[in-house]
Amino acid sequence: MDARTSENGALGRVGFGLPERWTYETPLAEIDEALATSGEVRPPFAAFFAALRNVSPEELSRRFDRARRIIRENGVTYNVYGDPRGMDRPWQLDPLPLVVDGAEWAALERGLVQRARLLDAVLADLYGPRRTLASGLLPAELVLSHPGYLRPLCGFRPAEGVHLHSYGVDIARGTDRRFYVVDDRTQAPSGAGYALENRIVIARMLAQPFRDCRVERLAPFFQALRDGLAGLSPRRDNPRVVLLTPGPYNETYCEHAYLARYLGYTLVEGGDLTVRDRVVYLKTLGGLERIDVILRRLDDGYCDPLCLRPDSLLGVPGLVHAVRAGSVVVANALGSGVLETPALPAFLPRLCRELLGEELKLPSIRTFYCGEPESLAYVIEHLSDLVIHSAWPGPASGEAVFGGELGQSERAELVAKIRHRPGAWVARERPALSTVPVYDGHSLKPRHFGLRAFLARRGDEYVVMPGGLTRFASSRDSLVVSMQRGGGSKDTWVLSSGEPSSVTLLHPPGLPIAIVRSGADLPSRVADNLFWIGRHVERADGTCRLIRSLLLRAAEEEGERSPEIGALVRALGADFEQASGIPSRPGAPLDVGLASVLFSDERHSPKHEIALGYRAASRVRDRISMDTWRVLSHLHLEVERAARRKAFDTSDALELSFSLLLGFSAFSGLVMENMTHGPGWRFADMGRRIERAAFMVRLIRSTLLEVASSGSLDAVLDVADSTITYRSRYFGTLAPEPVLDLLITDETNPRSIAYQLVALKEHVGQLPRARSTPLLSAESKTIVEALSVVRLADLERIARADAHGHRGELAALLGHLERALPTFAEQITLSYLAHVQPSVLVEGVA
């Protein structure tokens, strides 16, 4: 095929109003989704570009920048292992969707539904009568040696006999323009949540074109998924469904959190669940709550360390027993991963004929299972044209090998390995992939792509998501479509066939709104994280406040350092005194040391605390509002970015501290105003109150304990944000007694110690108690006692200094609080959060 020049390949040519620089580099495959070989724009893309006509390129760029910012701030991430950016790399999204014609999609849909029915039937047979093995429709070795063929589930018929509730299919388009299947995801397909996020971002960014193109909506698919799962519950009324995630280190954790929130399910980790008498319960602050349906994102084998993989730290011991007892339904059914083998397509046409009595509608990539002698001979002969895979997933399976890229000795080695155990190997043809235009910020580039389609089971039918997750390769020549390898993703638009009625049908009236209950059903793990978010953010806030005051004062001071500054530096804590080098170098510029404190990696530095708070928040994404998350994420980005800057002067540091403090206020405001005041909020607030009280104790100890440093009254009021109140009450006259009243005993000042203690007492009184007893709990006692000590304090006496200028009564009061606060935090942890502990496996000996 002739290479087309960028001139006649330019999309500007078709008149949707993009200027010359919007060109499409020559597509390299024989086939492109947007351009036909003739150079014409294919109909679905033509419709799209026509709808885009009123969006100028500048406008598109502007909107795209905004969209990317939303993605970053929403924290749509995808964990990439071994990436320098590590966890939470922002999700890469292309502004242009993949556009698919409605009629073409309808045909694909029929093929997908048939395939889902077929795979479900195969699963029912493998875990039931095993006729497919007896008759040789599937090779015994392929199934029996598959680590996902879970023997403890053999002979068990799941609810309604359905194994496959949620199914993901990786599809590609070949040179003959036919769709074909590359991979089947049958145990816990991921990506549907990302597809939804992509849709939300792009539909907002291209609102008008989206409406004009009459794109099929995704919501009905998720509705079907929800209905389907609810229908499985062994208890019909008010079924409790949870989404089981491996945890925040999983690459798609962000999606789990997003989906859980969207579907209105509680996001749980294995440790949140417990099995008692073959019933699964969620451990909450209020006690155990029965679970009816588990939508799992855990691989089969990891779901139960007792009955399945004994080395799993992620599962729920005894889950298999509960499943077999029928008290809980796991979707997809445990064991459905057995179909995740690259060898499967080789057997589907016959299976389809035998099990469904139909011809297979949707072809698959050409596959050869080496366990069959004829295939083995073919594979060895044509090795260089094939891609070799292990027949089974697992750590030992390794990467796919492109036969054509092997040297002489590597080839011989591979052949020997295949011959040693042919049944462990599969070969497939190299995929032929079509390309799609991708916008790189300057022009459109052709990239190979794959589409993951999703199906959900509702009752007797499979519902296909109209659209899906389109992923494209990172470079021009790459055939590897993987987010792990740095590719990107696109929204997928299926153009409605045009009848307006279909749109209304897709939006059934009375779409139920997910009601998220909050209260005692809060998983203890979540409470633990919320508690720590509160603590970390408040610690960062306190330090930032101190640094801002210091910077302001340092800027005014020349030469000699006042005792007041020395006292405030002490309040930063011993870690920082050293880190910033302030006391050891009296002549050194104070501001340089202070700026470094902001980003030091020491414990308690704002950077460190923000990072920990952010991390804790990322573990409970489903419990935090989008705005709150955005604020935290912004704080995190800002301090990380500033830390990377080389030159940093006082005004930069001041600006940063102002900006961070604003962020903390936004966070506090959101927590106070936007979070339901249930137990979750109480834990977050308790964390804050404990740290704020601790900070005030430290501040007062370092500034007001010795009369010699009483010049710092002003500074203390400033740090404690109480200057205005003080002035309005006492006008300019600074005296220790009223200052101490305002900072310690005044229960109306939100920064006073008494205020924190009152709040803590209130929280403790409102928390659910597992065992109701008329006696005060240990944590109540601690806090009541601390509050009485503060309330009974005689201001005149605590302000009084001895002959050496030392305030002994004040020291005693502060000492009491310094003991009480950590004790309280520990007691809360013991009473409510103690079971957040890892599991240990033990196995007997022969």
Partner 1 sequence: MLLSICHKTELGYSEPISESVMELRVMPRNDARQTLRSFELDISPEAGLFQYGDWQGNLAHCFSVLEPHDRLVIVASSTVETHTRKLRVQDLPDTLPLSGIGHRLEDMLLPHEAVLRDPRLVQFAEQTGIAAERRLSTVLGVVTTRLGELVTYAKGVTSTRSSVSDVLDRGKGVCQDYAHVAIALLRMLGIPARYVSGYLYRSEFTELETHAWVDAFVPSVGWLGIDPTHGELAGDGHVAVAVGRSYADVPPNRGVYKGTALEQMHVSVRIQKASEPLEAPAPPPLGLAARFFRNRLQRERRVDLRTLEQQQQQQQQQ
Applying CB under 8 A, which residues contact partner 1?
79, 81, 130, 133-134, 140-141, 144-145, 151-152, 154-155, 185, 187-191, 246-253, 274-278, 297-299, 302, 305-307, 310-314, 317-318, 321, 324, 395, 420-421, 482-484, 835, 837-846
Give the 3-state DSSP-derived string for 728-796, with helices as H, strands as E and coil as C.
Answer: HHHCCCCCHHHHHHHHHHCCCCCCCHHHHHHHHHHHHHHCCCCCCCCCCCHHHHHHHHHHHHHHCCCHH
Q: Distance (Å, rounded) from C-alpha 186 to C-alpha 481?
A: 19
CB of 345 to partner 1, least distance (A): 19
In the complex with partner 1, which residue's Cβ is closer, 322 or 522? 322
CB of 318 to partner 1, least distance (A): 5
Q: What is the DSSP string of 557-598?
A: --SSPPHHHHHHHHHT-HHHHHHHTTTT-TTS-HHHHHHHHH
Q: How far apart are the first and last CA of the chain?
A: 68
Strand partners, 331: 295
How far, in Å, are 34, 147, 251, 640 from residue 395 at the CA level? 39, 11, 17, 35
Q: Distance (Å, rounded) from C-alpha 248 to C-alpha 267?
A: 11
In the complex with partner 1, which residue's Cβ is closer, 302 or 599? 302
In the complex with partner 1, which residue's Cβ is closer, 433 or 704? 433
Strand partners, 408: none
In the complex with partner 1, which residue's Cβ is closer, 252 or 756? 252
CB of 78 to partner 1, least distance (A): 9
- Residue 297's nearest CA partner among 311, 283, 315 is 315
User: Within a 13 Å sphere around the CA of 565, how many CA atoms are in the beta-carbon half?
Assistant: 21
Q: Are strands 287-290 and 279-284 parallel, antiparallel or unpaired?
A: antiparallel
CB of 680 to partner 1, least distance (A): 23
Is residue 530 within 8 A of residue 684, CB to CB? The reply is: yes
Q: Distance (Å, rounded) from C-alpha 332 to C-alpha 325?
A: 17
CB of 271 to partner 1, least distance (A): 8
CB of 188 to partner 1, least distance (A): 6
In the complex with partner 1, which residue's Cβ is closer, 173 or 185? 185
CB of 130 to partner 1, least distance (A): 7
Q: Where are the beta strands (DSSP E) in 163-319?
A: 166-173, 179-185, 241-245, 266-269, 273-276, 279-284, 287-290, 293-296
In the complex with partner 1, which residue's Cβ is closer, 247 or 363? 247
CB of 357 to partner 1, least distance (A): 23
CB of 141 to partner 1, least distance (A): 6
In the complex with partner 1, which residue's Cβ is closer, 181 or 314? 314
Q: Distance (Å, rounded) from C-alpha 567 to C-alpha 776?
A: 39
In the complex with partner 1, which residue's Cβ is closer, 240 or 309? 309
Strand partners, 462: 457
CB of 704 to partner 1, least distance (A): 42
Is residue 379 within 8 A of residue 427, CB to CB? The reply is: yes
In the complex with partner 1, which residue's Cβ is closer, 3 or 396? 396
In the complex with partner 1, which residue's Cβ is closer, 276 or 603? 276
CB of 844 to partner 1, least distance (A): 4
In the complex with partner 1, which residue's Cβ is closer, 288 or 811? 288
What is the CA 331 to chain-centroid distance, rounded?
A: 21
What is the CA 80 to chain-centroid distance, rounded?
A: 12
The per-residue b/e assignment along 314-336, b for 16 or more CB within 10 angstroms, e otherwise, is bbbbbbbbbbbeebbbbbbbbbb
In the complex with partner 1, which residue's Cβ is closer, 300 or 491? 300
CB of 739 to partner 1, least distance (A): 46
Is residue 468 within 8 A of residue 65, CB to CB? The reply is: no
Q: Distance (Å, rounded) from C-alpha 739 to C-alpha 746?
A: 10
CB of 282 to partner 1, least distance (A): 14
Q: Distance (Å, rounded) from C-alpha 367 to C-alpha 345?
A: 6
Q: Distance (Å, rounded) from C-alpha 593 to C-alpha 581?
A: 6
DSSP 424: G
In the complex with partner 1, which residue's Cβ is closer, 395 or 510? 395
Q: Which residue has the tokens 């002489």?
A: 408
CB of 294 to partner 1, least distance (A): 15
In the complex with partner 1, which residue's Cβ is closer, 275 or 764? 275
Is residue 706 within 8 A of residue 554, CB to CB? The reply is: no
CB of 822 to partner 1, least distance (A): 21
CB of 68 to partner 1, least distance (A): 21
Q: Give residues with Cβ within 8 angstroms of 106, minimum separation 6.
A: 497
In the complex with partner 1, which residue's Cβ is closer, 97 or 168? 168
What is the CA 660 to chain-centroid distance, rounded?
A: 24
In the complex with partner 1, which residue's Cβ is closer, 75 or 423? 423
In the complex with partner 1, which residue's Cβ is closer, 150 or 624? 150
Q: Where are the alpha helices (DSSP H) in 75-126?
A: 102-126
Q: Distance (Å, rounded) from C-alpha 651 to C-alpha 629?
A: 28
In the complex with partner 1, which residue's Cβ is closer, 673 or 843? 843
- Residue 824's nearest CA partner among 770, 769, 775, 756 is 756
- Residue 752's nearest CA partner among 732, 772, 722 is 722
Is residue 805 within 8 A of residue 563, CB to CB? The reply is: no
CB of 420 to partner 1, least distance (A): 7
For the sheet with 266-269, list strands across it.
266-269, 241-245, 293-296, 329-331
**Backbone region of residue 690 per phi and psi (left: phi > 0; alpha: psi in -120 to 50; beta: other values):** alpha
CB of 156 to partner 1, least distance (A): 10
